[in-house]
Structure 1
Amino acid sequence: MDDVADWLAANGDLFWTWVVLPVVVLLGLYMTIRSGVVQFRLIPEMFRTLTNRTPRDESGEPQSVSAFQAFTISAASRVGTGNIAGVATAIAIGGPGAVFWMWLMAFVGAASAFAESTLAQLFKVRDPAGFRGGPAYYMQRGLKARWMGVWFAVILIICFPFAFSSLQANTISASLGGAVASMTGTDAGAWLPWVSGLVVAALTGLVVFGGVRRIASVTQTIVPVMALAYLLLGLAVVAVSWQEVPAAISSIFTQAFGYNEVVGAAFGYVVLTGIKRGMFSNEAGLGSAPNAGASAAVTHPVKQGLVQALGVYFDTFLVCSITAFIILTGVPDLAGAPVGVDLTQAALGGTLGEWSLTALAIIVFLLASSSIIGNYYYGEASIEFISTRRWVLVAYRTLVVAAVFVGSVLSANVVWSFADAAMGFMAITNLVALALLSGLVFALLRDYMQQRGEGKDPVFTRDRLPDVSGIDCWHDELSVTGPLPVQRRR
């Protein structure tokens, strides 16, 4: 298995270096320039649209999940082991400079995140639970290429609900093992991963068999709580090791542009590590978050594009940065440092004491559990794109629960390498579609800004893009905004 992992890692790095990385950077810069740096100039709009009223149907019920709930579903997938184990891995093998490239690509990638979720909203379709959509849908409806959509959907199903969810479960098991070892003074028994897997699999089953409304209600509760708890833990580390903060900040910038003698990472590898781990964490341009973005009931596609761009910032500039400062202030000397969640645990334990390992295990449990739920929803949208047969969805849900259990007891090396490769194919497929459909994104953005300039709360209807076919929703203003609740009608 080690030989397989080494082969996947070596060839995966070549694929990322010469294929994925140039496309990710160039398209992100193109979207940034053509949109007038939308990810910066419309930051106030991101927060405004996050709390917009959700359009309602004839019975007064929300048409689908709210903009905030869609944000939390995508955040649930984004904020997971990538923020703790992934960032720690990036720092351990790429040095502190990798954090700089994570930050830079989050800013550039936010433009791609805006574009993909805007398109997902434009080409979403209605189902009994509300709305669904994503890259597979805009590939079929916008590009008239169902084959491309099916290809993307299959890769996403393999990558997120199976490979990535297995990794989340594996990280829960590892963090629990570290917490048990710190409390008892001995290694956790071989039974722990099995028990952990059974518990996480059971909880996953309870949520995913309840549908998107239950997923939304769970994530909108868990995501703010776990983010706040992790923020407080990070602030405690920084407060205790405040004297290390200037050196930590300095190392992020000074080691971003040269060879890192501590971890032996060359400049190119620092950049590659930062971008790859950054994309795994914030998913900008990857094509996963649009599946959540399409589920929201909003009055204009651009609104959810802005919300999902904010999600990239939330993930990288807040949660990933917390991990970076925990490690760089808690473990100033990275020579011989462990890789993955073990590094974060070492930084916490060395700074705050052994009690913090238990706190981290709880936070990791919440982070990873919410990611499993978010990953599941992405896969569900893709499954329903391929087939709407009930038995297919039930089989998929069952396999997801099984993958969570299996991931808890297996080594993660091969799964990490395989997931990285699958993520690269996902990104390339999605970014090609984004490039081909980018004209629609800019047309929608112009329409949105024109209405805002007129003092309106923007509303989109498909007659505003009369030459575009394949738009299933957005029939007229009444269907988009929804009738007022009964008690407010005149």
Structure 2
Amino acid sequence: MHDFLLFMSDLIWGSILIYLLAGAGIWFTWHTGYIQFRHLRMFCPLLRRSITPPRDGLSALQALLISLAARVGVGSLSGVAIALAAGGPGAIFWMWVTGIIGMGISFAECTLAQLYKTRNDRGQFQGGPAWYMTRGLGMRWMGSLFAVMLIVAFGFIANYLQASAISRALHQTFNISPLAISITLFVLCALAIRRGIQGVATIALWLVPIMSLCWLLPGLGLMLWHIDQIPSVLGLVLRGAFGWHEVAAGTLGYTLSQALSQGFQHGMFSNEAGVGSTPNVAAAAVSWPPHPAAQGLVQMVGVAFDTLVLCSITAMVILLSGVLDIPELQSNGLSILRLAMASLVGQWGSTLVTLIVVLFAFTTIIANVVYAENNLNFMLRPTASRRLLFRLSILLTVIAGCLFYMPGVWQLATIMTALMAIVNLIAILLLSPVVRELIGDWRRQRALGKMPVFNPERFPEIHSQLEPGVWDNAKRSTPSASNYNHRP
């Protein structure tokens, strides 16, 4: 079974998804007028005016931090290590490529999620790929298929892997019993998700910046300490990106296909651009100004931060340590990263990696619950009993991840992620004319010196697809335009 899953994973990623992802990334980069390059500077003004949590949803800052909580999981650490071990230094170059083109994809999917959002039974905003597939494309079957895949992939498989990473890291470093870890993690996760998306947003608001700095600062410090080696490391990356790098002792070098496939696979697995997960929280945000493109602009920066910053720090630590040249190097990503840090700073570096893994994986688990529960609400009418049973089933999966090791789950996760991405990318490509209209409307209003406000009456073909009342009252609930930066 393990060999079959590995074959399927390589088949989907190597022959289908790489081309679809690259094509979609290039298409949306061009289709939006190179949005990730022209409008990146707008991130801070948009976020600064969207900090206070509104009553009917999340602030843009809360939505961004929940999406980062989901992104910066084990994939940003051990996933990078696995990509480098299997694809060579060049894999990080293709990770950067996925980050750059993924920003355009993330803008498109999060903008569509904002546009087609609805209100739940408590009057708060909800939405995501299942909604824009249903309302924008008129394909509820497609939305239902995606919702089921996300529930399985993020609610259960991904959370199993994150819990397993926590258990193995703590057991190997501190010799803590997996049973004790499972019980503790069960309690902490139960408390964190008790209040739903609002409770997770509160935790993410404090924990995500702290844990990111705990990894960024040591990583940047090591890069400065070894700054004389940075040019040679970057040279390895560039040569390896095209299959020109050879490992130590003259053994067979990594091929272009290895670097390309590993970089794209683990880059996408980490930043989640195109997978369709982030739009589930992007739709819950009340963006300022009240225009779907505003949340798309904010969320695309999360892709850049995860891939171009966090993953790069992880890669530089591993490459500076030289552990990839060890012939008997283990294929376990966490072991590679711990060995790299220990070789650079001593044994305390291995302990630091363990603590960072625990924090990253924990925030990913609770954010994944939010994503999965959102799609459950799309499938079934939400009730207290259904919500409780669903959360309990996910928490039991977390316990299983701590206690049992199941080979092949990682390959299953990559297959499910790939299938989700294929369905989602097809949907947003079909809806790309809508994305182009929205970014055009945003730019038109800014060029006139106005604060962009989405008026659905300007788009009669879209207006009929939207839930009444979501966008109709945008102007009345908008802060004064006099405080807006009018520069086009």
When normalised by structure 1's length, the TM-score is 0.92
DSSP-derived class of the 1:471 partner: coil
Q: Which residue of 1 aligns with 2:102?
A: 109
Task: Give matches, 1:255-294, under 5 Å.
Answer: 255-258=240-243, 260-262=245-247, 264-294=253-283
**In the alignment, residue 277 of structure 2 is paired with which amino acid?**
S
**1:3-402 counterparts in 2 under 5 A?**
4-53=1-50, 61-127=54-120, 128=122, 130-180=124-174, 188=175, 192-258=177-243, 260-262=245-247, 264-298=253-287, 299-331=290-322, 333-336=324-327, 337-339=329-331, 340-390=333-383, 391-402=385-396
> What's the offset of the Cα at 1:458?
1.3
Tell me, in whole angstroms, the C-alpha distance in 1 between the residues paired with 2:242 and 2:376.
43
What's the secondary structure of 2:119's corresponding residue?
A: strand
**Pairwise CA distance, 1:161:** 1.7
Question: Is the Cα contact below 8 Å between 1:54 and 1:62 reproduced in 2?
Answer: no
* Residue 422 (structure 1) aligned with residue 411 (structure 2): no
Unaligned runs of 5+ in 1: 181-187, 485-490
CA distance in 1, matches of 2:336, 2:161: 17
Report if the CA contact (8 A) 1:117-1:304 is conserved.
Answer: yes
The size of the alignment, in residue pairs, is 468
- 1:218 deviates by 0.6
Kindly provide the amino acid, as one letter, of the partner of residue 477 in structure 1: A
Contact 1:461 1:480 (C-alpha < 8 Å) held by counterparts: no
Question: Which residue of structure 2 lines up, in the alignment, with residue 488 of structure 1?
Answer: none
List per-residue Cα deviations over 1:408-432 (Å, max 9, x = no partner).
1222531100000001110000011
* Mean Cα deviation higher: 34-43 or 408-417: 408-417
Write the letter of the residue equivalent to 2:134. Answer: Q
| Structure 1 residue runs of 4 or more that deviate by more than 3 Å after TM superposition | 53-56, 239-243
Partners of 2:253 and 2:366 in 1: CA distance: 37
Structure 1 residues 132, 356: CA separation in 2 closer, same or farther (over 3 Å shift)? same
Return the letter of the residue paired with 1:278. G
Residues 55, 297 of structure 1: 8 Å contact kept: no
- Give 1:476's aligned residue: 473
Q: What is the alpha-carbon distance in structure 2 between the residues aligned to residue 251 and residue 260 of structure 1?
A: 7
Distance 1:225 1:179, change over 3 A: same
Structure 1 residues 46 and 482: CA distance shift in structure 2, 3 A = closer
Conservation of the 8 A alpha-carbon contact between 2:189 and 2:366: yes
Q: Which moved more, 1:277-286 or 1:460-469?
A: 460-469
- Is the contact made by 2:243 and 2:253 (CA closer than 8 Å) also made in structure 1? no
Q: Summarize deviations over 1:163-214 as a string: whole Å, max 9, x none.
A: 111111111122223322xxxxxxx3xx622221221121111111211111
Q: Deviations over 1:367-419 (max 9, x none)?
A: 11111111111101100000123132222111111111111122253110000
User: Structure 2: which 5+ runs fail to align?
Assistant: 482-488
Q: What is the root-mean-square deviation of aligned Cα atoms in Å?
A: 1.9
Q: Which amino acid aligns with 2:207?
A: I
Q: Distance in 2 between matches of 1:96 and 1:445?
A: 36
Q: Secondary structure at the match of 1:268?
A: helix
Mapped to 2, the partners of 1:217 and 1:328 lie a distance apart of 36
Tell me by how many angstroms 1:271 deviates.
Answer: 0.2
Identity %: 37
Report the AA paired with residue 445 of structure 1: I
Give the aligned partner of residue 184 of structure 1: none
Q: Is the 8 A contact 1:69 1:219 kept in 2?
A: yes
Listed one character per residue, the Cα deviations across residues 51-105 of structure 1 (whole Å, up to 9, x for unaligned) are 223688xxxx533110010000100000010000100000011111000000011
